[in-house]
């Protein structure tokens, strides 16, 4: 299948896209069975896309071999039931290329690549990096991933435009800083360029601005209100979409908005999904906070009239 320019038509991320947590056993090993169980649950709930090995998946605490096996587990478990893009960004270019080539070979629909982290790169370095890594898999769709508050590097719109002009397989961008003006500028790159946002508290607003969906860690625990809000927006039931957005915000606040994935993992455990533990130096949620979280989640579910029993 071809697009209007004669190139290969590729999949893009859209709707409710989930950056899955990575479950760990008490001894620190990846709990792949728990990851498969989580993948099944999310697909059964109706999420649109899966995005393993991202920030929510604690990717920088995984070895290359673990990241490959996590990707393989999600791809195999999904079995084509949901679009699956694998995050492949690393601290250096060689490892990023290795993971990109693995994701393509493993059967992923595409990949995401965050800016290099911690060390500052100038715009020329960022452009050359993304052109090089995208070029290593030129027949494979790639999303840029800009999360400047964590990565210490920001992707200006003009740099993204140059990357896009030089790399036909760079098909979109995931943005995780709540700057509506920058978001609109990314959207206005146009020509089929897809933008998804990571600001759960403003999902409907970002959709109205032109984003194709959200990449939501909170929806990886309670996908139901996010899926319902997205569907209501798509069907132009705006009052219902905004009502459901408020429900989403309550879940964002209860689960600490992704600042600490231990809340995500505890929330999943309360739903009957063994999401395991955190990998040190991060720690699991304190016992003294578990009952408060459980009570808060039960109250939100009850108030919203959503059938999602918290056990």
Question: Which tens digits make up the pLDDT trace of 19-63?
Answer: 999 999 999 999 999 999 999 999 999 999 999 999 999 999 999
pLDDT at 174: 98
Output the pLDDT for position 308: 55
Q: Which stretches in the chain have pLDDT values below 70? A: 1-9, 258, 307-311
Cα(247)–Cα(244) distance, integer angstroms: 5
pLDDT at 13: 98
The pLDDT of residue 10 is 77
Q: Give the pairing of strands 83-87 and 110-114.
A: parallel
Residue 176 main-chain phi, psi, to 5 deg = -125, 25
Domains parsed from the chain with CATH numbers: 15-302 (3.20.20.70)
Q: pTM for this one?
A: 0.95
Got the DSSP string for 199-251?
A: -GGGHHHHHHHT--EEE-SGGGT-HHHHHHHHHHHHTT-HHHHHHHHHHHHHH
Rg from Cα positions in the chain: 19
């Amino acid at each position: 299948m071809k697009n209007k320019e004669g190139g290969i038509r590729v999949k893009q991320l859209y709707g409710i896209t989930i950056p899955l947590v990575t479950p760990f056993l008490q001894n620190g090993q990846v709990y792949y069975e728990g990851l498969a169980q989580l993948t099944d649950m999310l697909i059964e709930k109706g999420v649109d896309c899966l995005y393993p090995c991202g920030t929510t998946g604690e990717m920088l605490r995984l070895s290359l071999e673990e990241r490959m096996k996590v990707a393989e587990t999600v791809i195999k478990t999904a079995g084509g039931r949901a679009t699956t893009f694998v995050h492949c960004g690393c601290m250096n270019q060689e490892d990023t290329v290795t993971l990109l080539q693995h994701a393509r070979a493993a059967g992923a629909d595409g990949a995401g690549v965050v800016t290099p982290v911690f060390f500052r790169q100038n715009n020329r370095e960022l452009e050359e990096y993304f052109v090089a890594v995208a070029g290593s898999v030129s027949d494979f769709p790639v999303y840029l991933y800009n999360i400047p508050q964590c990565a210490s590097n920001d992707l200006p719109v003009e740099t993204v435009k140059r990357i896009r002009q030089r790399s036909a397989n760079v098909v979109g961008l995931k943005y995780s800083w709540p700057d509506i003006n920058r978001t609109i500028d990314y959207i206005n790159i146009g020509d089929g360029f897809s933008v998804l946002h990571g600001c759960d508290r403003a999902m409907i607003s970002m959709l109205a601005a032109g984003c194709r969906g959200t990449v939501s860690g909170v929806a990886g625990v309670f996908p139901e209100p996010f899926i319902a809000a997205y569907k209501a927006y798509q069907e132009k039931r705006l009052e219902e979409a905004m009502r459901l957005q408020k429900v989403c915000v309550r879940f964002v606040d209860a689960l600490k908005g992704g600042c600490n994935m231990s809340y995500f993992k505890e929330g999943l455990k309360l739903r009957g999904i063994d999401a395991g533990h955190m990998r040190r130096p991060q720690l699991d949620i304190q016992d003294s906070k578990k009952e408060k979280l459980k009570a808060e989640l039960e109250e939100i579910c009850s108030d919203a009239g959503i059938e999602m029993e918290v056990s």
